[in-house]
Amino acid sequence: MARGQYRLSLLLASLLLVAVASDALLGGWSPIEDVKNPHVQEIGKFAVEAHNKLTATKLKFQSVIKGQTQVVAGTNYRLTVMAKNGAASKKYEAVVWEKLDGTKQLTSFQPV
């Protein structure tokens, strides 16, 4: 009887550990494996254009160089983009929320 209780306790502890680990990953950021994917590049271009509209700047999108996604009610994209300001290229970190209906919203845009 004691051996059966030990096994049951071990099984319950293992299940609890798996549940806790799963909750820690929920909503976490995952790396984007292929930043050259046309959709990822489109999100990066959107970020630069939306920033330009909000700030009346004239940055020119060049490329996404790295990024992460986070599943929410849609997808958050945290991207490092290269953009030209005149002759100089700079890195920026942009966060874009792509909603379930496909609309996009720029939530932050900062120089790196």
Going from N- to C-terminal start, the domains of the chain cover: 27-111
Rounded to the nearest 10°, the torsion over CA 112, 50, 59, 95 is 20
Residue 45 to residues 1, 37, 38, 69, 106: CA-CA distances in angstroms?
A: 65, 12, 10, 16, 11
Task: Give the model's pLDDT for residue 91.
Answer: 98
For the chain (112 residues), the mean pLDDT of every run of 10, in chain order, is 56 40 66 98 98 97 98 97 96 98 98 96
For the beta carbon of residue 94, count every other beta carbon within 10 angstroms. 24
- The pLDDT value recorded for residue 110 is 98
Question: 99: which strand partners?
Answer: 74
Q: From 3.40.50.2300, 3.90.870.10, 3.90.870.40, 3.10.450.10, which CATH number describes the 27-111 domain?
A: 3.10.450.10
